[in-house]
Amino acid sequence: MTPTAQGPAPHGPAALIEVVDLERTFDVRRRVEGRRRRVRESVVAVRDLSFEVAAGEMVGYIGPNGAGKSTTIKMLTGILVPTGGHVRVGGLDPSRDRVELARRIGVVFGQRSTLWWDLPLRDSFDLLQKMYRIPPQRYRANLDRFVELLDLGDRLDTPVRQLSLGQRMRGDIAAALLHDPEVLYLDEPTIGLDVVSKSRLREFLRALNGERGTTLLLTTHDLQDIEALCDRVIVIDRGTAVYDGSLGGLHARGGSTRTLVVDLVDEAAPIDVPGATVRRIEGPRQWLSFPSDASAAPIVAAVASAYDVADLSIQEPAIEDVIRDLYSRGA
């Protein structure tokens, strides 16, 4: 999956993002019944986390709330110092070289805008040009391109407060990209957006990755984002990666099943065919499940020959179910 799969390679063509045995614990004070002073205890947010991301990859980073997603992102951007292990982004130690790293990465927090609320979009962009000291020519070229791709042309002179949520999100993403970052971290970029805005945003991110090879690390709860964008998924649960691989592999890994929905002409006893089991019956309709990697053909044939079938359909496993299954098993 990654070019340097065998541990960290500090010299030579290393991966763009390198995470080795990363650990982060937090000291929290908790009030305990019967004790006068609060008790200090250590809470593990991230542990034994290792992965690498090569330049140009689009990686989905998913997990339930509190799994350690944002703690990881904070360590990758230098906002938090790890308590153990090692992180490198573009060869830099994020917490030590935070300001230098900032020039090379873009960060978008879905629910927090960096734009100037009361001023036209253009003003926020102009300030970023100054903060990042983007050469004027490159700035203009980038601005033109992003404005075109994100369809913001007639919005540049509109105060941000008058933009729709989708437009504002696109503005925030453009803002994070003006300085040509190598990596773009997106935290819940499609949260709260309508279907059209979501798909438009995904299209843009795909185009961005295709045109500029920008590496994308995306945390999301919307699995359609992942399906539309990411060739690779890292699932994190209770601070550690429980899956790292292709989206397709996630199905197999989850031991998931496909479902054959059979509409019989009349109500009948549970269908009994080899290789499938009945999960549910509702009048003449029955749901049979069988392993994802098994062929549906013999089962369909068996059902059709033994029963009076009005209609048949096959349901693929929902990725949500697969992941829920992974969460409950990863401990």
Partner 1 sequence: MRHLRTYVQIAWLWIRAAWQYPASFVLLAVGNGLVTGLDFVGLWIMFAHLRDLAGFALHEVALLYGSASLALALADTAISSVERIGTYIRTGRLDQMMTKPVPLLVQVCADQFSLRRLGRLTQAGVVLAWAGTYVEWTPLRALVAVSMIASGTLVFFGLFVGFSCVQFWTTDATEFANAFTYGGATVTQYPLSIFPREVLVGLTFVVPVAFVNWYPCLYLLGRTDPFGTPDAFRFASPLAALVTVGAALLVWRTGVRHYTSTGS
| 95 near partner 1 (CB under 8 A) | yes
Nearest residue (CB) to partner 1, 68 versus 317? 68
Nearest residue (CB) to partner 1, 116 versus 327? 116
| 26 near partner 1 (CB under 8 A) | yes
Residue from 6, 7, 27, 305 binding partner 1 (CB under 8 A): 27
| 85 near partner 1 (CB under 8 A) | no
**Residue 316 DSSP symbol:** P
| 117 near partner 1 (CB under 8 A) | yes
Residue from 119, 156, 309, 312 binding partner 1 (CB under 8 A): 119
Query: Which part of the chain contacts partner 1 (CB under 8 A), choosing from 3-11, 32-40, 79-87, 273-281?
Result: 79-87
| 142 near partner 1 (CB under 8 A) | no
Residue from 118, 211, 263, 316 binding partner 1 (CB under 8 A): 118
Letter for the amino acid at 301?
A
| 72 near partner 1 (CB under 8 A) | no
Neighbours of 320 (CB within 10 A): 10
| 130 near partner 1 (CB under 8 A) | yes
Rounded distance between C-alpha atoms, residue 242 and residue 234, angstroms: 8
Provide the CA 43 distance to its chain's centre, in angstroms: 24
Residue 278 to residues 66, 71, 218, 239, 286, Cα–Cα distance (Å): 36, 43, 38, 37, 7
| 102 near partner 1 (CB under 8 A) | yes
Contact 47, 82 (CB under 8 A): no
| 77 near partner 1 (CB under 8 A) | yes
Element (H, E) at 276: none
Provide the CA 97 distance to its chain's centre, in angstroms: 26
